[in-house]
Structure 1
C-alpha cells in the first residue's frame, strides 16, 4: 500500500513552447507529446472508472489509495491539457487529435467495469519498466530540451512509478481475477497502440517536421540486430533515440519486464525503480520548485 501525495505543481505554458521541444532527440519529443495526448484521454477514463469502483471496495486502505490515485491522475491530465492547449495556439489542428483520442477512450465506458479496471491495471503495469528506461537517461533525453516540458514529463513519470501498484490493487479488490487481466491484455494493447498511431498520424498532418523527427537519420552507436530491433520496438516501429542512449542489456531488460508485467502473478511493487525518482521526491519534500526542476537544481546527483 502506497502513501500517495497529490502534488499540484503550477506548470505554465504559452505560445513560446515549441512542439519540437527536444532537438537532440526529436523522435522522443514527438513520442512524449503523443503520450501527453494519451494521458489526457486515458486518465480521464481512469478517474471515471475508479470513481465507480471506490464504493465497491471494502478495504478502507485500498479505497483511500484509490481516491489518491485518481486525484494524482486528474492532476496529470489537467497539466497535459495546459501543455497541449499552448501547442494548439501554434498548431490548431492538434485539438482534433486530442478530441479523437478522448473519443476512443470514452468508448470504453460502454464496456464492463471489470474490463475497464483490467485495462487500467494492464497498462499501468507497463509504466514502471518503460519510464525507468526514460528516467535512467533523463540527462540525455530531458535536460537538453525545453525545461518547461521536460519538467512536466519528469513529474508525471515519477508519480506513475510512485503509484505503480494502485491500479492492480483496485482491480484485485473489485474484480480479483488475475487470469482475466492477462487474457484481455492483447485487446488492451491493441487499443492503446491503435490510438497512439492515430495520434502520430494526426501530428504528421498538422505539425511540420514530425515525419522527419520520427526517423532520426544517424545511428550513433554500433549494435547487433537484436538491439536494433529492440530499439525500434520501443520507438513504435522506427529507430528510436532510446537505442542511442540505452545499452542492449537495458533494452532487453525493459522488454522482459514489459512481458512480465502482464503475468497473472506479477506485482508492480517489486519492480526495480529509477534512482531519479527518489531524487525527485526528495527534492519535492525539500520544497524545490519543480515546475522548472533543472533550474532549481532539484535533481542533482
Structure 2
C-alpha cells in the first residue's frame, strides 16, 4: 500500500531554473506600488532559512519511509525546496544591494529558526506541515488569480508563479510523512497556531522594515492601498482565509483542494515560456 497521496499526473521533480532579478529589485517592481512590492519582498526574506528548516524536518524521518513513491517524492521535495532557497537567497542579496538592512532582518528570523531546530522532531515536522499549508494556499491563490501579479515585472511574476507551481506539486509530501511517522492530529493543529502567529508576525515586521527604508512606513496612502490589497479588493489574504482555516478540520488533507487542472495549465505556460 502506497503512503503517498500525491495524485496521478502530479510529479514532484525540481526544475533547475534561474531568475536574474537583480535589476528588477532596484525598483518598485510590483506595479510601482510600494506596499505590494514590500509585501512580496517580505515573504522572500523568510524562504531561504524557512525552506532549509523544512528540508531538515523531513530528513529527520526520511529513513523511516519505505514506500518507494513517497521516498522519491521526498527527494523531489528536498530538491525543489533547495532550489527555491537558492533563488530567494539571490533575490534577498539583490535587496541588500539596494540598501535594505537584510543582514539585520535575516539575523532576527534566523534566531527564530535556530530555536525551531531545537524542538523535538515531531514538532519540527508538524511545523513544516503547517508552513507548507500556508505556502500551498497562497500558491493556489497566485495561480488562480494571475491579476494579483498584474503590473509586476515579467521576470518577477515568473519567479513567483514557478515557486507557486512547485509548492503545489509537493504540498502533501511533508503531510504524508507526518501522517505515517507521527500521526498526532492534536499536535498538528496546535503547532499550526504557532506557525500562524510567526508567519504573520515576521511578514508584518519585514514589510514594515522595508517600507521604513523606502520612506513609506508612515504613509497613510501606502497603508490604505496595502490593506485593500490584502483584505479589501482584491483582498488576497481575505480570499485565502477559508483555505487557511481548513487546516483545523479533523479530516484535513492538502489534496482535498484538487487543483490539478490549474497546475497543468500553469505548467504548460511555464514550459512555453509564457507564464507572464
Distance between the aligned counterparts of 2:250 and 2:265, measured in 1?
A: 31
Aligned residue among 255, 275, 279 for 2:265: 279
Q: Is contact 1:30–1:210 with CA below 8 Å preserved after alignment?
A: no
Give the Cα–Cα distance (whole angstroms) in 1 for the partners of residues 260 and 228 of structure 2: 24
**Greater alpha carbon shift after TM alignment, 96-105 vs 204-213:** 204-213
Matched, 1:51 2:51: no
Give 2:246's match in structure 1, choosing from 252, 260, 265.
260
TM-superposed deviation, 1:123: 2.0
Q: Tell me if 1:70 matches 2:56.
A: no
Label 1:41 to 1:266 Cα distance change in 2 as closer, same or farther (>3 A): same
For the residues of structure 1 that align with 2:26 and 2:262, how far apart are their CA atoms? 25
Secondary structure, aligned partner of 2:140: helix
Q: Does 1:149 align with 2:156?
A: yes
After superposition, the C-alpha distances for 1:248-273 in whole angstroms (9 at most, x for unaligned) are xx946x32221112323201112142
1:244 and 2:233 aligned: yes
CA apart distance, 1:18: 2.9
- Structure 1 regions of 5+ residues with no counterpart? 218-234, 289-295
Deviation at 1:240, TM superposition (A): 2.4
Which of residues 197, 203, 206 is equivalent to 1:196? 203
Q: Structure 1 pair 110/32, CA: closer, same or farther in 2 (3 Å)? A: same
Superposed counterparts of 1:29-40, under 5 Å:
29-40=37-48
> SS at the partner of 1:79?
helix
1:179 aligned to 2:165?
Answer: no
Distance 2:63 2:76 in 1: 14
Work out the CA distance in 2 between the residues paired with 1:95 and 1:15.
Answer: 20
1:133 equivalent in structure 2: 141
TM (norm. structure 1) is 0.79
Structure 2 CA distance for aligned equivalents of residues 215 and 244 of structure 1: 14
Offset at residue 128 of structure 1 (A): 3.0
Q: Is the 8 A contact 2:55 2:78 kept in 1?
A: yes
Specify every segment of 5 or more residues in structure 2 that has no aligned partner in the other structure, as ranges: none
Give 1:74 deviation, angstroms.
1.0
Asked if the contact 2:228–2:235 (Cα under 8 Å) also holds between the matched residues in 1, the reply is: no
Deviation at 1:33, TM superposition (A): 0.9
- Could you tell me the TM-score, scaled by structure 2's length? 0.85
CA separation of 1:211 and 1:57: change in aligned 2, threshold 3 A: farther
- Cα pair 2:230 2:238 within 8 Å, conserved: no
- Give the CA deviation at 1:55: 1.2
Alignment counterpart, residue 122 of structure 1, candidates 127, 130, 152:
130
Q: How far is 1:131 from its partner?
A: 2.7
